[in-house]
Chain A
Amino acid sequence: MRVVWAKELRETLRDRRTLGVMLLFPLVVYPLMALLLTEVIAGKEAAQGTRPSRVAVVGGDPAARETVRALLRSLPPGVRPGIPSASSAKATDGGFEVTGESGGGDSRETNASRSASTAEVTAGTLDAFVDLDPEKEAAPIPGADLLAIPAPRPLRVIYDETRPASDQAHDRLTLALGSVLPVGCAPTFAVTSTSVATKTKVGGYVLSKVLPLIVVIMTMLGAFYPAIDITAGERERGTLETLLTSPVRRFDLMTGKVLAVTTLAALTGALNIVSMSLTVAETAKLAGGATAGLTIPWTRALATLLVVAPAAFLFGSVMVAIGAMARGFKEAQSLLMPVYLLCLTPSLATSAGDFPLSGVTMLIPGTNLTLLARDLMLGDARLLPAAVTLISTLAFGAGALAFAARLYDSERLLTSTDSDLVGIGAWLRHLLGRAPARRGTPGASPSVAASPTTAGQALALFGIAFVLWFFVFTWLQHWRLLPGLLISQWGGFLGLVWLFARSTHRPLANVIGLRPPRAAAVAGAICIGMSCWIILGILADRVMPPPREVVENIRRLIRPPGQDRPLWLSIFALGVTPAICEEALFRGPILRGLRHQLPAGLACALTGILFGVLHGDVWRFVPTALLGTLLSWMALTSGSIVPSMVSHIVNNTTLIVLGYYGLDEAGEKLSSRANLLLAGGAVILLVVGIVAVRAGRQPLNPKTSPDTSSVSGVT
């Protein structure tokens, strides 16, 4: 038994992918998913919470209407008198925007204004309205007649339960009007609620909450095993070699395979839409109560089929591309499972928060499809977002297909093995890039010590850095911000690079590319550092504007209220330190490792994305990833890490100085003309910087790494 146990364990642990899934999965993928979900939802909630509810008051006599209006207007955002327990939950309550003077004195006018307000709520131009003449009288308070307590005035909140903003307005109104007196006193108003949504609309709403996510999940799952079977499975069964001897273009071959997977995935998605709709309808019948009579809007449910084919094509292409990289079924599963979960995360985040399908969300694969499916289900789909979503999804799918076809042209499909990694020791040395043991270890490659950093090592370093950051560094920084930050950066990121250099028996300067740059490259780096924050800031505001709370948090980080932190300390801890340590890690072994096996442009982009991910802020992801890409280009072009460090320092320091003196808030008040001039100046400075960096180009590492000596692909 022991012998079998030992053999099975040895064999399994020699499989890098198994270990990757075993370790990488729980330590990197889950934190990444959690981070994305919480950031997105928290940001969305913060944004929603600060939005005032647009409400109206109808019915009753003019004095009563004015009283209720005045009451609602008097409630400032975030404060709900008489609701002590709700104060924390409603801390970001945006208050009310009370509209119009609707409603007249006689019943005819009241009915007209009631109908108009109902129509407005249904159309979404009004969040809710308060009807002071409800048909039902308020229930008497037990014992009220004995205590001579006046009966509460009945009123009714009319809202649309299928619209989150309206639902929020309803919650705010019932809390505000139902509790206007101190706790312990009899309520002034007896509040009842009525939703204007029809049963069909409610049915659509219920389905819109679950169906889009289910469709995306099941379509992906529908693509999962067929994609593995027709790629890695074909290779494992030995039919691939025969197939590749046929006189067919690889692209045609791969397109046929992707379309087969697309068909199967689309069928799975379509069947799930039908089944889920029927299930919800039947469940509503069986449950009775509020859901009794719930009607499924079948036309809309069928309309959601529109997203199934593009989703199936996208996921089919991605999964076939990943599967084409694997050497067998098991390896394909190991590779695809993290991809599956990471593809799922945007859809999960989307279904958890109520986002509009607009702006950058139209271009995020998975997210856009989930939102479009929701809008189709609700009958809210618009042509332009739908078209952008479908076209971008098909474009992403085509990109993945082209990548998969390129892989099928590669001789790696027929020749790659891990046979040189004989022992666990050899595997670990391979993973860490260590030289073979001094006394010689069978199976270890003698060329390991001299070889440059590999892409595998780069990704492993990122994985370790991510795990440390998520589980240790964030905790350290919550404990004490500045000491935690300094320990994380100098001991953590730079320490990790130092350990890597030590374990691979290479000088730290070689590993990070620390060599004298040309003067032009440094001058260009300064120009880029001074200008790119403006451009990236504008871009971030256009693409994915961060909620006010996120911006305020950054300001508090730079200049904590109530603390007298000197500027130089903020610059050193928040500006210089990350610029040196993060550059050493990202523009050092990570960029160089990726560049070893990828084209320069792709290596820069991937390093930028990893750089953005490690900053753990979904609102800053796009600008951070773009900055990371630019810094990577700078490091490759200049052949030295110094310019990217300089640029990073200048960028950080500028932002810190502005934040420290509150100049960034002043900048928000600039006129559009001034903003335009600022942006124009920044673009000119950026172009000058790029030209200067190009003028100061030199080979990355001409003596030891010929494969990375040219950066012509980037420039």
Chain B
Amino acid sequence: MRSTLALIAVFTLMAIAPRVGEAQSSRYEGKTVTIVVGYKTGGGYDATARLLARHLPKHIPGKPTVIVQNMPGANSLIAANHVYAVAKPDGLTIGTFNRNLPIAQLIKVEGVKFDMTKFAWVGSAASESTVLAIRADLPYQSFDELRKAGKTVVIGATGPGANTYDFPLLIKELLGVNLKIVSGYSSSADIMLAIERKEVDGRAGSYTSLRPFIDRDLVRPVIRARATEAGIEQLPVDEDLAPTPRAKAIMALRSVPEVIGRPYVMPPGTPDDAVKMMREAFRNAIKDPELVAEAKKAKMALEFVSGDEALKVVKELLAQPKDVVDEFSKYIKFGE
């Protein structure tokens, strides 16, 4: 019964579909769309891309096959350079990279051979809400208490360029909290274990990854960055506590890419109709109930940001005055 209804629906749609739809359908029919991921299999960027690859075809006219290609290396710079300059702008390539690539471009990292504003932006699939969490058995109930106590609190980190490192670094340098950042852990899971054995007192990271440990009362979040989600809205935001406008600008600059935490782009010069159609498909796929159900099971929180919005965010980020950028690059390096 349901399949009959679906068939009827399909036929009706076909009958009333505008000519553009037909052209699109021939563009993608029998074709393969490749999502180039700037990381290896198994990480968060890869998992999101694979989830999308399973559900995108339904929403693209002509139902192309969508595959994921991993192109790891240099914190996704290799993949971004590839999609920017090598991949054909024929609508069959999508790239998803390190959210901090706009920062790499801003602080002029060697090896950046792209302009983030020239990509054809499809959108972003998720935002990343960064929090700093400290051990629940420490006597500090809130960020204010932590700051006023003045005692050294040891924070474990993976390395510069990751939010485990950069977020506490700015809190230490700009908000004057007595943190000691110990870097070099192989993963955030590794830091979690260091927290369990009291080697370190806390760590920064995405709220999603910290949540099981917060629920278990091992750690307590005390401060967050700009991007937020249900459960942490009431936490103080680092930017709001900045003592000077300069400090605020620097903290804002670090947070901005987190709003577009899983960026998706197409090569510059991709035909407008193809971009338009892919944006549409991307939006619909992220809201697809089947995808939402799968994401929920995998504890992935997806959030749609449109291509226009994402591009706006990137342009804003890249338009920072030189003095802010200079000060910013004193603290923040591009990595991971």
Is this pair of chains taken from one and the same complex? no
